[in-house]
A and B are shown apart, each in its own frame.
Chain A
């Protein structure tokens, strides 16, 4: 599996610098710093305009603000932090970089101990994500995610695991088989058929009747039709329900006012 064969979305997550010896993956802290730098750009640009257009004491004030914010933004932007997978030394570590200067390696660990896990997306179980040590890449389709996993596994000789076929249980994957076989085995066992179909099979197996009426009507919630999704507890139309006592309270208020006026 080569880097160029990866899907567009996977390539957006994974930076190819340093291949094939090492891979530098941006850590969460890296993205947080980038976000803070972007946020700080807002007051910076505003005060930059002020520093140019105003004059007198106000101009000096905004020049001070620019002088204060500019280095902060530059440092936040230039300070990079990567999780490095290094093939020659067989190690994994976190390293910061500032304008070409490399800081000390931290969190050193053997490369082999890196966790590589293919699993469902935590917000949408029809999508897939790849977990590498503590980084999570929500790539999307099963094929693309499996390809990204194979890329990591083959480049760095990592053990790959999956959490799809027997859901909460984690299973080791056989990497010797070809890509297509692997994807086929993953999708055959569980996925690619929509979850709605699974519900049908569950219904027939457990003997739930499709005509089973609502919970309140037959009084036995265990026989509710499962094909109906369980709705999230808080739906938008619930806000209306919160106002049900309002008319009564209003009438009470007006009655109290009427009594007071007597």
Chain B
């Protein structure tokens, strides 16, 4: 996911075109295989159909699950939506209560870094994104510039 500014006050996080197409091809391949299986159901037992439905659930989420992140300076909100055709979870972060963005190495992972959102109203920082140092640094700089909030890194 990388940062993309749409207008002076609105920005979103998007995937690269290669990522989107790659995931779409892979997911639709899995989904069509799962659907193709249903043609042979007359020979399957009920137990097998039940097990199939769990695999079909997986391919459902592979096909539909997505995370949308919107930054809105006018309303001073960062909105994170996770959905899979139906809404799964939502997180609304008021920008004016963010004290800082922080880059931190994940414990026990020499190349894994977290981008944290440190709130001035709450004890535990919020996890925002995970990736390698180069990626996280680029994203953190873009975010801190857009929201005008300092970026901390060890």
Residues of A within 8 A of B (CB): 122-126, 131, 134, 136, 167-169, 195, 198-199, 202, 215, 221-222, 224, 226, 229-235, 238, 241-246, 249-250, 252-254, 256-257, 260-261
Contacts and interface: CB of A to CB of B under 8 A. Distances in A.
Given A245-B57, A253-B56, A256-B41, A168 B124 contact: no
B88 A198 contact: no
Interface string B49-93: 110111011001100000000000001110110101110110111
Interface of B: 38-42, 44, 46, 49-50, 52-54, 56-57, 60-61, 75-77, 79-80, 82, 84-86, 88-89, 91-94, 97, 99-100, 102, 104, 116, 118-127, 149-150, 152, 154
- By secondary structure, the B interface counts as mixed
Given A202-B97, A233-B80, A233-B89, A254 B46 contact: yes
A222 B41 contact: no
Given A168-B99, A222-B75, 19 more contacts: A167-B120, A169-B150, A195-B122, A199-B121, A215-B92, A222-B76, A230-B119, A230-B122, A233-B89, A233-B126, A241-B88, A246-B54, A249-B56, A249-B57, A253-B53, A256-B41, A257-B41, A260-B40, A260-B41
B82 A226 contact: no
Contacts of A199: 121
Nearest to B96: A206
A221 B91 CA distance: 11
Contacts of B154: 131, 134, 136
30 contacts: A123-B125, A124-B124, A125-B125, A167-B99, A168-B99, A168-B150, A169-B150, A195-B123, A198-B120, A202-B97, A202-B121, A215-B92, A221-B77, A222-B75, A222-B77, A224-B92, A226-B97, A230-B91, A230-B93, A232-B124, A242-B57, A243-B57, A245-B57, A246-B57, A249-B53, A252-B38, A254-B46, A257-B46, A257-B49, A260-B39
